[in-house]
Structure 1
């Protein structure tokens, strides 16, 4: 059975969905790389909310999705930007998400890291930024999780130059009970982070970032780079102190960065691994055998989908991620906190469906097709 889908020009074309998903191998622990999926949250579709009001989360569905990720061997990167931090999920909701997911991780035996930022502070002084970071670090440490120190909009606005970043991060790292992951999120993901590390020059910013790491190598487990620049990530990776890991956050070049080269490789902490979970797990198992070509053969075809979901304005990639979770049967609706389901056009969503279906990402292709038809009908597309 075919389905009519609109293209970027608004013209309807005919697409014939797959009849069966790709076969998947059984889950097994990964040995050569660490894979974290930055996970989305599931909104409560029956909550009576308005734009700007606190998010209401469907906790059962949200935690069930995390169990899905763990069941395939991936770790969960919790309360990151994929969970709509600063785009519908406020700090109170994120703190509850961290507590619940960390408890679920202990029960399931899954690995979890949790994002900390300063989103309870819309604006403030550098001293207030430090206090906000400390508050969030305490929540993550009390939950028994490892912290990912995310970039701060408030610090980007308050900092006078590189010295404020060095002081703020140095202070926080000295407070941390255990090594953390430092996250450099580029302005393509959040325009408010332009000029982070005290400079709009990425070379100068990289030097400051590496200065923070070099000053506290015992408190930095790893760094996560989300700049969508493979060359820059590779160069930065080679300059890290021994023992500090690089986690790629590059949703455009992840296969080559994870596969690596003769001088090293990146681990992964990626939003695209939310919808790619089973396929990413299969690729990780292939890489564990030393078969880099087989790994690339599995993951390279997924880049077209990832580039589509993360195309500019990149920060709205969450809409496509949640669409695919709904089509795959991981939740019963296509509703997002903050109403972000409206952030992408119907042609964009239709292409996401077609690309994901072509990769065999839907466990039940008939369900995915039926749900896509129901979405199309809302927009007035006749059968």
Structure 2
């Protein structure tokens, strides 16, 4: 097997990649979305603060890859660098293009509607609602299920739970189809601290449950990314019948999706982007009742996921794109907003080792060659 010298680790021998049968159909026992990244145009002016220049062909090819595995695509989410390099004009185009691709492929698609076209600062609740509505219209016209993303503008402006209930109640009532709510913890975005009107999570949970119970027939589910498995299970058990809990917990997803005697979580996960073939195979095993295989497939991905989403968690997108480059889904390690600088060389070296151990690098020779080239520039060994 191929070997590579890694700083701090010496000589590393590459593992055999997993050989998994293709999956052409979605899992039957769970709804599963992979939150997908965008591929930057490497010759675009993707500096911090510049308008995003996207390689549309490669971005859409990656979505077709996810659909070919039977996974749904959650697009225009934080994994696609919403609020961290992907501006609203590029997001709008992404939603429209992904909608067309989903129709052609027959793939499941949900897209984020937010308020990131607004300038930073405080806005009225009416302005925030109108911004949401503008984006909601784009998502609906694309044929995608709407995800009402957590809003930085609303977090700045709201004076308490009633403001959240008012804005979300208006949006849910006006949506053409049931929505997915989105609770993104401050580890993913510090600007969302105190979402739902309180820094106390028990109080915030009570607010979001009140919203869901009032509009249960108009809510498909809620995506929860708090990295707190016990809290997620408690919320899941409190939801009205028919409302899904989509786990966004990239630290505990195997146990949460596996479930217990009282229920399970469905999945809307950023980590499913780099581990998509393994995730699809694990969900097939779950469909077949083969829990031992399910556990065996997911277990090696957990150390990878926990390193990928290590603090500062909001830089996990850098690792996602790095792994996509190593796996051959794109020909460069460049990101919109210059976000490839978000992780250190030692972090990326460890990510490489863990991805290899998890079997998610389909061509070890290519992955090792790309890692060597990165190290030659970023951390020459002498």
Q: Tell me the TM-score normalized by structure 1.
A: 0.97
Q: Structure 1 CA distance, aligned partners of 2:128 and 2:295?
A: 41
Matching residue of 2:66: 69
Report what 1:225 is aligned to. Answer: 224
1:28 Cα deviation from its structure 2 partner = 4.0
1:106-159 superposed Cα distances (whole Å, 9 cap, x missing partner): 011111000011001133111111111111001101111110111000000000
Distance 1:354 1:3 in 2: 11
Corresponding residue number in structure 2 for 1:35: 32
Q: Please give the per-residue CA displacement for 1:215-240, whole angstroms capped at 9, x wherever unaligned.
A: 10111001101000000000000000
3-state SS of paired residue (1:373) = helix
Counterpart of 2:41 (choices 44, 61, 66) is: 44
State the Cα distance separating 1:291 from its structure 2 match.
2.1
Match of 2:57 among 60, 74, 87: 60
Give the corresponding residue for 2:3: 2
Shift of 1:292: 2.4
Name the structure 2 match of 1:213: 212
Residue 275 of structure 2: SS of its match in structure 1? Answer: helix
> 2:46 & 2:301 partners in 1: Cα distance?
35
In structure 2, the CA distance between the partners of 1:192 and 1:110, relative to structure 1 (3 Å rule), is same
The answer (yes or no) to whether the contact 1:147–1:180 under 8 Å persists in 2 is: yes
Contact 2:40 2:46 in 1 (8 A): no
| Structure 1 segment 144-159 matched on structure 2, within 5 A | 144-159=143-158
Aligned to 2:136: 137
Does the CA-based 8 Å contact 1:3-1:373 persist in structure 2? yes
Change (3 A) 1:128 1:178: same
**Aligned-partner SS, 2:34:** strand
Q: Contact (CA 8 Å) 1:28, 1:285: kept in 2 or not?
A: no
RMSD: 1.0
Aligned to 2:274, what secondary structure does the other structure show?
helix
Which residue in the other structure is 1:21 paired with? Answer: 17
4+ residue stretches of structure 1 with deviation over 6 A?
none
TM alignment of 1:114-193, pairs within 5 A: 114-121=111-118, 122-123=120-121, 124-193=123-192
Shift of 1:380: 3.7
Segments of structure 1 that go 5 or more residues without pairing to the other structure are none
Contact persistence 1:225–1:233 (CA under 8 A) = yes
Q: Answer yes or no: is 1:112 the counterpart of 2:109.
A: yes
Whether the 8 Å CA contact 1:185–1:193 is kept in 2: the answer is: yes
Alignment: residue pair count:
378
Kept in 1: contact 2:125–2:154 (CA 8 A):
yes
Give the deviation of 1:26 after TM superposition.
2.4
Q: Whole-Å Cα distance in 2 between the matches of residues 12 and 288 of structure 1?
A: 39
Distance 1:208 1:68 in 2: 38
Contact 2:46 2:336 in 1 (8 A): no
Q: Name which of structure 1's ranges 29-38 and 78-87 shifts more when overlaid on structure 2.
A: 29-38
1:99 matched to which residue of 2? 96
For the 8 Å contact 2:307–2:351, the answer to whether it is kept is yes
How far did residue 301 of structure 1 move?
1.9
